[in-house]
Structure 1
Amino acid sequence: MSGGSRKRPFKAFFRKVSRSRPANAAIAFSVRNVIAGIRRLGLPRAGRWAERITRFIAPLVPESKLALANIGAAFPEKSEAERKAILDGVWRGLGHTAVEYVFLDQLVDFDPERPGEGRIDVKGIEYFESLRDDGKPAIIFSAHLANWEILAVVAAKFGLPLVSLFRAPRNNRIAEDLLDERARLMGRLVSSSRGATFEVGASLDRGEHLGILTDQHHSAGPRVPFFGRPVAANPLVARLARHYDCPVHGARSIRLPNGRFRVELTPPLDMPRDLEGLIDVTAGTAAVMAVVEGWVREHPDQWLWLHNRWR
């Protein structure tokens, strides 16, 4: 029997054990204790520790090598030192994002009645308000930039009816904890599994709004340019916009100094249309990815280059 043949049964056995009820319960118990420990440390101190840990881990994981290759292909004009500085920023930001999730209720202290106060500066307030009040469906896309979790929380602060797609963890107990916490802060959540499209469609029929991260690989999607190379992109934004003929906005968060953020909601995109006057799915998807590319170029150290985006 070959070495590969011996490994496959072991991997199958390990996967089965790791997904068993006792394993799920043990993992969930550990995660809850870690979260409690982070809360005891407080946001500033926990953020500093998380930054140290992620920067220590970074050289040890293969994703760092992949990220450096991605950064080099996207920015061939940058030196090796500049590329490593971008990657260092990615890992530092990832550490802070992981900790900030525990403190989202404190972090997003934005009040639409007093927009100049707190940690969050919002640009595009007029679009949040018009979307909230017009009673029509719309789609808001975003990307894994800075702390992307705060976007839906800010929308909830405006009272904007938003349905957010999310990928649930395989551990059911952790998934329940996350769902409860997110729903409390962000509003309605839909797991991006089979059947999600029908639930999203029903929400848009009611005049609600869809929030979706759209910068990851989507094997069945059209291939569109991204940093001069083709990527398989998620066409859901353009498909739904075509079906409902509704506006499409982009939303991003930008990490600022001293633990502050800027949240930006763009004006509605001028989505390309075909000869019948309907939104063109492939060209529309390319337009969405062009916006994301512009965001990443502006703050390259705040995007998750760790994804295998160009497959």
Structure 2
Amino acid sequence: MPNFKPKKISSYFHQFLQYNEYILAKGCLSLLRALSPRTASNVGAFICREIGTRLPVSKTADTNLRLVMPDLTSTQRQRVIKGVWENLGRTVAEFPHLADLNHNTSVGPGWEVVGAEYLTEQSKKTGPVLFVSGHIGNWEMLPLGVAKYGTPFSSFFRAASNPYVNQLILQLRDEAMGEKIPMFAKGSKGARQALKHLLQGQRLGVLSDQKMNDGIEVQFFGRPAMTSSAVASLALKLKCPIIPGYVQRLGPARLRIVVEPPIDYSEFSENNLENIHRLTQVINDKLEGWIKQNPEQWLWLHKRWPKEFYK
């Protein structure tokens, strides 16, 4: 009889499950792609709203809102949480339509832009540039829209645990971009690759709104929050521009890309710990201001603040 080792059988079974998960994901994406961008967005919003608002993680969102936006009533908080799930569902369902949405249009599916002059100006320059944003609106559209103005940037990504699914996601992003842009997996190896990328005079985008346990403590909505200092550290080290921007959702498959002037940090340009802290605070203040304008378009679902607030 063949000698099958338990570990080998387990490995084959794991690969089998991963491949079937990939087939399921590909099928779902194909179904969404068969719909119009607007219909897919509406379907995603409905499913996520109906399921997500009933999940325990919605209690985390409610805790976050009570913590940092105490003036909201219970009804208002629930309205925001409902909007969070709808926006997340739309963002996921619009993902297979990224290439279809990557057009500057005045109406219908696609996006409009505010602050295009800052991108046009930057496209005429050389040297490293940092773009900073957060998980607001359909954040997947920001690198695509910015690239239309001659300023494509690389970014970090959280690799899916399933390598087949991960490759599918990267292919969709490349297809929408129209060219292959380097992407860096989160972690120490990706950080080294990103630094090398910047040192070569390239551009890098960073989503700076999530909790970073090994970051630094700065204020976010008036509360202490562990925050990545990567953007501030790199900018002060390389003396490069930081361009802030985000994506505002206007409706199903309809977006607005907002680009602001480069952050002026000339008053504290010396590369030291104090200035890293000050510049990181400036970035957090930017994010806070954007989120306050449309709180239902930010991901309130994670434990952004110290764990004692969630006991």
Q: Kindly report the root-mean-square deviation, in angstroms, between the aligned alpha carbons of the 2 structures.
A: 2.1
Q: Is the 8 A contact 2:41 2:89 kept in 1?
A: yes
For each residue in 1:37-78, what CA deviation from the matched residue of structure 2 results, as whole angstroms up to 9, or x when unmatched?
111232222222222211211233111000011011111111
- 1:146-161 matches, cutoff 5 A: 146-161=137-152
Structure 2: which 5+ runs fail to align?
A: 1-6, 307-311
For each residue in 1:214-248, what CA deviation from the matched residue of structure 2 results, as whole angstroms up to 9, or x when unmatched?
10010011100011110000110001001101111
Deviation of 1:34 (Å): 0.8
What secondary structure sits across from 1:60 in the alignment? Answer: coil
1:162 pairs, out of 149, 153, 163, with: 153
1:10 aligns with none
Mapped partners of 2:12, 2:161: distance in 1: 10
Q: TM-score, normalised by structure 2?
A: 0.88
1:36 aligns with 30
- 1:62-73 matches, cutoff 5 A: 62-73=56-67
Deviation of 1:257 (Å): 3.5
For 2:299, give the aligned amino acid. Answer: L
- 1:173-212 matches, cutoff 5 A: 173-186=164-177, 187-212=181-206
Mapped partners of 2:167, 2:24: distance in 1: 15
Mapped partners of 2:285, 2:162: distance in 1: 35
1:25 pairs, out of 19, 28, 36, with: 19
What secondary structure sits across from 2:219 in the alignment? Answer: strand
1:286 aligns with 281
Question: Structure 1 residues 93 and 19 mapped into 2: Cα distance closer, same or farther (>3 Å)?
Answer: farther
Identity across matched positions, percent: 29
- 1:49-88 matches, cutoff 5 A: 49-88=43-82
Deviation of 1:17 (Å): 7.5
Structure 1: which 5+ runs fail to align?
A: 1-12
Number of residue pairs matched?
292
What secondary structure sits across from 2:154 in the alignment? Answer: strand
2:3 aligns with none
2:124 pairs, out of 106, 124, 133, with: 133
Mapped partners of 2:257, 2:39: distance in 1: 24
Q: Is the 8 A contact 1:249 1:266 kept in 2?
A: yes
Question: Structure 1 residues 17 and 58 mapped into 2: Cα distance closer, same or farther (>3 Å)?
Answer: farther
Q: Is the 8 A contact 1:132 1:161 kept in 2?
A: no
Higher relative contact order (CA 8 A, sep 6+): 2
Mapped partners of 1:217, 1:268: distance in 2: 24
Mapped partners of 1:200, 1:166: distance in 2: 12
2:91 aligns with 97
User: Is it true that 1:171 corresponds to 2:162 in the alignment?
Assistant: yes
Moved over 6 A (4+): 16-19
Question: Structure 1 residues 258 and 91 mapped into 2: Cα distance closer, same or farther (>3 Å)?
Answer: closer
Question: Structure 1 residues 194 and 81 mapped into 2: Cα distance closer, same or farther (>3 Å)?
Answer: same
